[in-house]
């Protein structure tokens, strides 16, 4: 058995977009292998899965080969930005890039495990509705955000107004510590009692930034990701996604964080009824419970039990 350190990878998509990421490979001398694709949340990057990947390598029996890939979605981390005509429909675009990445990896979907965190979970859910997966693991997300049908036109208007104003300026900070402190503070403004550990914030910032010639730190994110989405799903459309995934042989696991997104009880009931997940658990921690050092082990243990 060999245990490789994470390797930086680059996948070139059909439209020329470069997808960066990390890959962990454990060979065990036979053909039995578990393949795992990890998709991060909005304005995060593949480093959010460093601790999770290490945990899977430690806790999944060595008799099982492992191939884990965590991607930087377009406009995030070290991946390239889309051309000037986008992104306008972010989730739909990312579903395409997920498909393109799997083609580049030569991975079939039927036996694939996909771990999605937050926005990455929404991407994975939409993909799984069209392409059956082996297993789908959703971390602190119930899927794409929805709006009432009579508010869809407002989303279109908000997107057009933002797009006319142009690309927002990049975020710049005087040094790494200030950027990390800001990232930690940003987590607290989201709904609920959210927070992020300094260790996790540091990893995410370092992956997604450069030090300029003047010594200041500049984020690499495509700032157009801050534009409001052009298209937003309704509750009925999200329900249909749940039912489409449930109609496939895909096994699903829903893990929420006790101090993460404050999901309404009726939304939890709806996903239980329509998606019919095999596992539903609320675990200690906040929105990045899979990445924060004090809470990641519980997430890893639950995932290992689910996929074993």
For residue 132, give Cα distances in angstroms to 142, 282, 289, 292, 300. 18, 25, 27, 30, 23
What is the three-class DSSP state of 68?
A: strand
For residue 292, give Cα distances in angstroms to 183, 224, 295, 297. 14, 28, 6, 9
CA angle 34, 35, 41 (to 5 degrees): 130
Closest listed residue to residue 148, CA positions, set 229, 231, 235: 235
Residue by residue, DSSP assigns 245-295 as HHTSS-EEEEEEEEES----HHHHHHHHHHH--SEEEEEEEETTTTTSTTT
Closest listed residue to residue 133, CA positions, set 141, 145, 142, 121: 121
Out of 80, 118, 121, 229, which one is annotated catalytic?
118
What is the three-class DSSP state of 113?
A: strand
Q: Is the peptide bond before 92 cis (omega within 30 degrees of 0)?
A: no
Q: How far apart are the first and last CA of the chain?
A: 19
Beta strands in 72-214 (DSSP E): 113-117, 135-139, 172-173, 209-211
* 305 has catalytic annotation: no
Which of the residues are catalytic? 118
């Amino acid at each position: 058995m060999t245990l490789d350190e994470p390797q930086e990878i680059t996948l070139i998509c059909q439209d020329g977009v470069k997808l960066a990421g990390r890959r962990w490979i454990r060979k065990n001398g036979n053909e039995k292998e578990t393949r795992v694709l990890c998709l991060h949340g909005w304005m995060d990057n593949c480093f959010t899965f460093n601790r999770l990947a290490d945990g899977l390598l430690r806790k999944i029996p060595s008799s099982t080969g492992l191939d884990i890939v965590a991607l930087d979605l377009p406009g995030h981390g070290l991946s390239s930005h889309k051309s000037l005509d986008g992104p306008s429909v972010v989730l739909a675009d990312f579903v395409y890039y997920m498909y393109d990445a799997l083609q580049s990896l030569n991975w079939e979907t039927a036996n694939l495990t996909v771990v999605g965190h937050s926005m990455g979970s929404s991407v994975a859910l939409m993909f799984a509705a069209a392409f059956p997966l082996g297993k789908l693991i959703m971390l602190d997300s119930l899927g794409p955000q929805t709006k009432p049908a009579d508010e869809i036109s407002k989303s279109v208007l908000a997107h057009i107004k933002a797009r006319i104003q142009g690309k927002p300026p990049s975020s710049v900070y005087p040094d790494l510590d200030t950027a990390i402190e800001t990232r930690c503070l940003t987590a607290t403004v989201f709904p609920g009692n959210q927070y992020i550990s300094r260790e996790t914030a540091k990893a995410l910032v370092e992956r997604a930034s450069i030090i300029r010639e003047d010594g200041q730190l500049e984020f690499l994110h495509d700032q157009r990701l801050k534009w409001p989405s052009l298209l937003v799903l309704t509750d009925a459309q999200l329900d249909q996604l749940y039912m489409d995934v449930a109609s496939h042989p895909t096994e699903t696991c829903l893990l929420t964080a006790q101090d993460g997104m404050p999901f309404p009880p009726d939304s939890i009931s709806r996903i239980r009824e329509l998606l019919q997940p095999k596992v539903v658990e609320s675990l200690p921690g906040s929105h990045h419970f899979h990445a924060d050092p004090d809470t990641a082990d519980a997430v890893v243990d639950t995932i290992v039990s689910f996929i074993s």
